[in-house]
A = this chain, B = another copy of it.
Amino acid sequence: MTLLQPIHRPSLHDQLVEQLRSYFTEGPLKPGEKVNEQALASAYGVSRTPLREALKVLASEGLLTWTPNRGVRMAEISAEGLAEVFEVLMALESLAGRRAAARMTEAGITAVATLQAQMEAEYEAGDISAYFRTNQAIHEAILQGSGNEALVATHRSLSGRVRRARFMANMSRTRWQHAIEEHREILAALTARDAERLAQLLAVHLEGKLRSLQETLPSGSG
């Protein structure tokens, strides 16, 4: 172990943004529901000032809706809005796939393969929550593998807007099965470094996700 290494000191701002992001995506608030500054601030044990700064960032990402003098609400997303976001995500993931097939390290591909195995186990165990996270991790790994930071950041920010919906949606067993198979193909294309096929598969995969979302939450997605 090295004795001299930089001290990692995360800023309050960054911590708040991160914590709030997962609170809003995985927490109890329904779309359209009001967020109380005061309450949140005291829950986190901070003052309203840094909290508001964090909320503004999340609102600019589209996870929250800020109405002047009326406070913050969980963003509501319509079926059309969902489709719009997915259309963009498809373009982004396709690009990422195309690049990742070319640029990803062997180690990176192995890591994806490991995640895939883990995800299949979680599927067998019926642990949907774990599956959800691992699935997310695979997509992020491919994004990272593109080697394009701007792409990663753009994707992250945009996917924030649908993460809540994704998290809430309970997939049908058949869709779940299908998603697993698609992921197998994705891994295969990545291993073969077949850029065009990978790009194509990721787009199709997202299309499927969108369909499944639109089925399970056609109205009132809380």
Q: Judge if A49 is at the interface, Cβ distance under 8 Å.
A: yes
- The oligomer's copy count stands at 2
Q: Once bound together, how far apart are the Cα atoms of A94 and B87, in whole Å? A: 12
The smallest beta-carbon distance between A29 and chain B, in angstroms, is 21
Q: Once bound together, how far apart are the Cα atoms of A95 and B86, in whole Å? A: 12
Q: Once bound together, how far apart are the Cα atoms of A94 and B85, in whole Å? A: 16
Decide yes or no: A85 and B150 within 8 Å by CB, A13-B68, A60-B60, A92-B91 being known contacts.
Answer: yes
Q: A158: which B residues are within 8 A, CB to CB?
A: 150, 154
- Whose C-beta in chain B lies nearest to the C-beta of A66? B13
- Whose C-beta in chain B lies nearest to the C-beta of A93? B91
| Interface residues of chain A: helix, strand, loop or mixed (majority) | helix
Q: A87: which B residues are within 8 A, CB to CB?
A: 95, 99, 148, 150-151
In the complex, which residues 165-218 of chain A have their Cβ closer than 8 Å to any Cβ of chain B? none
0/1 per residue, A75-101, Cβ < 8 Å to B? 000000100110110011011000100
Q: Once bound together, how far apart are the Cα atoms of A56 and B56, in whole Å? A: 8
Cross-interface CB contact of A95 among B56, B91, B149, cutoff 8 Å: B91
Q: A68: which B residues are within 8 A, CB to CB?
A: 9, 11, 13-14
Cross-interface CB contact of A52 among B9, B53, B92, B150, cutoff 8 Å: B53
In the complex, which residues 144-163 of chain A have their Cβ closer than 8 Å to any Cβ of chain B? 148-151, 153-154, 157-158, 161
Say yes or no: B84 contacts A88, CB within 8 Å: no
Question: Can you list 12 A-B contacts (CB < 8 A)?
Answer: A9-B68, A13-B56, A57-B60, A84-B149, A85-B150, A87-B95, A87-B148, A88-B150, A91-B91, A91-B94, A150-B158, A154-B158
Known: A62-B150, A87-B150. 19 other contacts (CB 8 A): A9-B68, A13-B56, A14-B68, A49-B49, A52-B53, A53-B56, A57-B57, A57-B60, A84-B149, A84-B150, A84-B151, A87-B95, A87-B148, A88-B95, A88-B151, A91-B92, A91-B94, A154-B154, A154-B158
